[in-house]
Amino acid sequence: MNLKTVLTVETISRHLKGTSKEEIINELLDILVAAKKIPDREAAFSAVMDREQKMSTGMKHGIAIPHGKSATIHDLVACIGISDKPVDFDSLDHEPCRLFIMTLSPVEKTGPHLQFLAEISLLFKSAEKRQEILNAPSAEAILKILSE
């Protein structure tokens, strides 16, 4: 999967303002709504929050990957948000997060969803890559880093 086919300048925000898990998820959904990537915000919110209740999507190294599946989604969609301040996201390493990658996918399609999550986790294993993204001056720069 090519991240550039899923992510665009419109689906990247470098200055999330939320201070809680729910506020961050809402901001990420706002990005997808503004980019006309999701038709039903309420259904998308429910899908992501249902997933969070099963197990937090706060990973390690300041990264969270909130995600969900919804019948209202027809193709995998994703966005990236960077928070100016670390946010508690119930992470595996108990550290707050600054990098958020949200993905929503159709209920019946598992392949693209798993492939996207695998690609994102590989990409963000590199401390250098994470720092480059946090320091990137623009959404265009983030897209470039992700495609390297």
Please tell me the pTM assigned to this model: 0.92
Q: Pull the structure tokens for residue 90.
A: 């119930």
Give the structural domain span for 23: 3-147
Provide the domain count of the chain: 1
pLDDT of 20 strictly over 70: yes
Are the CB atoms for 73 and 109 separated by under 8 Å?
no
Whole-number Cα distances in Å, 76 to 6, 11, 26, 83, 106: 7, 13, 18, 23, 7
**For residues 64 and 107, what is the distance between their CA atoms, to the nearest angstrom?**
21
Banded model confidence at residue 80, pLDDT cuts 50, 70, 90: very high
Outline where DSSP puts E strands in the chain.
12-16, 63-64, 67-69, 77-87, 97-105
